Chains A and B, each alone.
Chain A
Amino acid sequence: MRQVFRGAVLLLLLLIVVPAPANAQQEQPPLVRVGTEGTYPPFSFHDPRTQELTGYDIEVVKAIAAKAGWRLEFVETQWDAIFPALDARRIDLIANQVSRNPERAAKYGLSTTYTYSRGVIVRRTGDDRIKSIADLSGKTTAQSSTSNWAKVARDAGANVEAVEGFAQAAALLQQGRVDAIVNDNIAVLDYLATTGSKDVEIAGDAGQAGSEQVLALRQADSALLAQANQAIDALKADGTLRGISQKYFKADVSVENGGAADLSEGRGQRSTWDILRATAWPMFVGLVKVTVPLTALSFAIGLALALLVALARISPYRVLSGLARAFISIIRGTPLLLQLFIVFYGLPQIGLKFPPFTAAVVAFSLNVAGYAAEVIRSAILSVPRGQFEAASTIGFGYAQTLRRIVLPQAARTAVPPLSNTLLSLLKDTSLGSVVLLTELFRESQLAAAESNEFLALYSFAGLYYWVVCVALSAAQKRLETRLNRYVIA
């Protein structure tokens, strides 16, 4: 029994620690992983009726793939993580209205332009302090911090508040938390048409020059870039690009001066109730397929690690206890989000690349181990010394004493604080949304970006978390009653 358990834990650890083979061999047709936000309508968003990823950029890149003979896999992440994901080889190409600028041209392989547009300044309706780009000096704008628009705003002297996409920026502007937004003309028109908002308006152009949007690849992938450029040229020549553009914007943005984009029809407005009804199922799927398994697996592995760390921590061997102490100190002394980023973005730089789910399990279980180790350590130390001695006088060795005498008694002390750890973990898995995991919270973000129904959607996601926590608390109570049966009459 013990061997079986040990073997199972070892196998789990192996599965997690052994990195997935990087970039499977180049077969025909090649698999191209496309990074995109999925929260940037009308370029990249989820159709509220089908939940499918769609938009101008998505259709363009699909058309390119058809011409170039690629298989596509879409990877959705927030803007500020897109270029790191490209660097870390988690994606091969970015299709998300990447504006061409000299810095990017120097570092990445940029394709032929497939969107010509211009930047505009958005202000609260009637805010006459902001009329042109010059007025942004000393004002605060909301932008994705690594975007080209953020650079434009900074160059004009604005303070930039970092946000995770256009919908958040628009919400901040509307709430009066920032003074303006600089963004793509088309994205702004889409927002105004879809929300019907009269609270914000376009103040004017952000500078004279137009903006050109391209696909971004790694510089080393020159063959892939050449295929992309050939395909774009062909799609321009046969009118496919014009067709996609007309469908979304009633103008041809794939050439310069192709007419003014018209999005006045919007994407159709729906009631809050309809949006919630449409999102309830995808959120539930995110909960059941990602949030719960991620929590359960991370907690199980984390507890096993925590026991080892706790035993090392109280062992008389100085090296062992020193290592355990250092591990606990590092885990508890650094933010969980940072740990997650180190595993997901940092480790690939030294050749340790895990798929998103595995990376999250590694980060979360190490985090659980750091916190639970201290809980388990103090629970073990709370078992009276006489119990260890009595166990030794009936002939038990270290492992038997631990398993049959000490841990069952320590469990009583450890269950309440470990339950806290479990509940925290369940909610912390929402951080998985920043490492490409489409879990419960990410689903609510996707829906909110498309519909701007922040309050309703986030509250609904909160309800899901709460229900699971209530169930776990009930389980904790039953477990405590069970463990107390031999101490309270």
Chain B
Amino acid sequence: MTDDIRPDDIRVDVTGLRKSFGSLDVLRGIDFATPRGTSTVLLGPSGSGKTTLLRSLNALDTPDSGVVRIDDVSVDFSALPPGKAGRDESARLRAQSGMVFQSHNLFPHRTVLQNLTEGPVVAQKRPVEEVVAEARALLDQVGLADKADSYPYQLSGGQQQRVGIARALALKPRVVLFDEPTSALDPELVGEVLAVIKDLASKGWTMVIVTHEIRFAEKVADQVLFLDGGVIVEHGPPGQVIGDPREERTRRFLRRVLDHG
């Protein structure tokens, strides 16, 4: 399906992304595109560069070279100016996405509702009443309407991560980035979070997801990228990459993960 889409349907467009930490090459030339309203899942062994790739999409990590375009904002990292101008450009790219962290990173000193409204009200300077109404709707969507005035410490791990997802959505991002959203959770709490993400996919959110949940990836992904050693080894629809992998490296990885899963 990636072959017959029109250019203006592309939400996330990555070309020639490279990044090294010292002598370690983490990303060695990454190219991919995520069409609007689709989910892209990044799979790969640890150290394959998938988290660095995800964090490059919102410039939490700064690639050495390559271009990231999200909707109408495009940053060429090899031409990134130094100092404040560069930080401003990175911030403009970052503002295009919402991020869900592995360890949720909720603000512990703010209530659940405040965690959602902080960004839209303070950074985006949108009217408070409107933002609060939307935030309550989002909490309802993730099943936490009754927790609006709780503090994060009063919630379970799964509930905290659902708030983290709602916080990312409250920013009205062009794309939602998930960095291993269930890895830090107790097994019995994983399901409720995956259910929420699946629901978002059906509602047409554009998403890029790093995860180890293969069965979940099969169900939710429109496109799967398998990374190893800083390059995309194999990509395509889940039925192909997960169901019938062509590359030996992919097969070995899937065997290992599915055995333990």
Contacts and interface: CB of A to CB of B under 8 A. Distances in A.
B122 A400 contact: yes
A409 interface: yes
Interface in B114-146: 118-119, 122-124
A389 interface: yes
A394 B171 contact: yes
Contacts of B99: 389-390, 393
Interface string A361-397: 0000000000000000000000010110111111111
B178 interface: no
Contacts of A486: 108-109, 151-153
Interface size for chain A: under 10, 10 to 19, 20 to 34, or 35 or more residues?
A: 20 to 34
B41 to A, nearest CB: 20
- In the complex, which of the residues B101, B119, B151, B167 has the most CB atoms of chain A within 10 Å of its own CB atom? B119
Chain A at the B interface: SS class? helix
Interface of B: 58, 60, 91, 94-95, 97-99, 101, 103, 105-109, 118-119, 122-124, 151-154, 167-168, 171
Contact of A489 (B94, B123, B154): B154
- In the complex, which of the residues B91, B99, B109, B124 has the most CB atoms of chain A within 10 Å of its own CB atom? B109
A409 B108 contact: yes
A387 B107 CA distance: 7
A405 interface: yes
B109 A390 contact: no
A289 interface: no
A138 interface: no
B105 A387 contact: yes
B153 A392 contact: no
A459 B167 CA distance: 59
Contact of B101 (A389, A396, A409): A389
Interface string A187-215: 00000000000000000000000000000
B109 A393 contact: no
Contacts of A293: none
A394 B109 contact: no
Nearest 8 interchain pairs by C-beta: A394-B119, A395-B123, A390-B105, A386-B105, A393-B99, A486-B151, A408-B109, A486-B109
Nearest to B154: A489
A430 to B, nearest CB: 37
A387 B103 CA distance: 10
Contacts of B97: 393
B201 to A, nearest CB: 21
Contact of B95 (A384, A386, A395, A405): A395
Given A393-B98, A394-B119, A396-B122, A409 B105 contact: no
